[in-house]
Amino acid sequence: MTKVASSLLTDIGGCVLFFKDIMRTLIRKPCRRVDFFDQVWKVTVQSVSTTGMAGFFVGAIMTVQFALQMKEFGALGFLGGLATSATVREVGPLLIAFMLSGKVGAFTSAELGTMRVTEQIDAIRCLGADPLQEMILPRFLGIVVSSFFLLTLGLIMSIFGGMIMGAAFAGVNFEEYLRHIPTIVTLPSVLNGIVKCFVFALVLATICTYKGFTATGGAKGVGQAVVKTAVSTMVCIVIFDWLTSFLSDITVRVVLGAQ
């Protein structure tokens, strides 16, 4: 038990210090724009199909679940607004984070881990270049920026999925489904989703680059780094989801109390 706790604390401290080094590198020695846009393109292309399909079916599932409850109260006219609000606030950012952790996070960890065990990172350092600037920073920023594009795509597809399922399952036409979305999906809801997306992206980018960059032990070590990346990101995303929801609720109460 003590060994597990010690390993956990070591990983947390390592991630925090690694994130600090990335931010210091970003301020002092930013990466090249070409490398940054290349990583944004790669991350987006890798996950766009999976995210779009998952968003479509999540919207459909949310619509079915809300429709079952709202039929009893005769409030199906609000189906689109409530389903979309839930997706924007919680399901959308969480969906994007899980999609990225399963595909991009594992891939980035494996890629960097392979470079580490084959001494490519050491070779870059011997040539006088900074591995954080050349390899880590473009991938870190690429994951963070791409998450916003993927979030937008996932939310749009969830609305389409909800519209189709609302018409097929609950008999709500497209116009009625869309009518109450602007009234229920408020600016605080959108901001809450954006903040969650940004926090999840930072957590994912930090963990996957850290695990890959510090991998040791040859091919076996790379495999272990990928597994640890997947497990750690899933757990941390859930924890930070609770934390951001808790802080958001406190912020709303303070603002309403001040008014």
Q: What is the pLDDT of residues 221-257, one digit of tens each?
A: 888 888 888 888 888 888 998 888 888 777 766 665 6
Q: What is the CA radius of gyration of the chain?
A: 21
Task: Report residue 140's pLDDT band, with 50, 70 and 90 as the boundaries.
Answer: very high
Give me 78's structure tokens: 């609000």
Higher pLDDT, 115 or 6: 115
With a CB cutoff of 8 Å and minimum separation 6, the contacts of 113 are 211, 212, 215, 221, 222, 225, 226
Domain that holds residue 39: 2-258
How far is 152 from 123, CA to CA, in rounded Å? 39
What does the pLDDT average to over 213-219? 85
Our measurement of the distance from residue 70's CA atom to the centroid of its chain's CA atoms, rounded to an integer in Å, reads 30
What's the number of domains the chain is made of? Answer: 1
- pTM of the entire predicted model: 0.87
Q: What is the number of H-type helices and E-type strands within the chain?
A: 12, 0
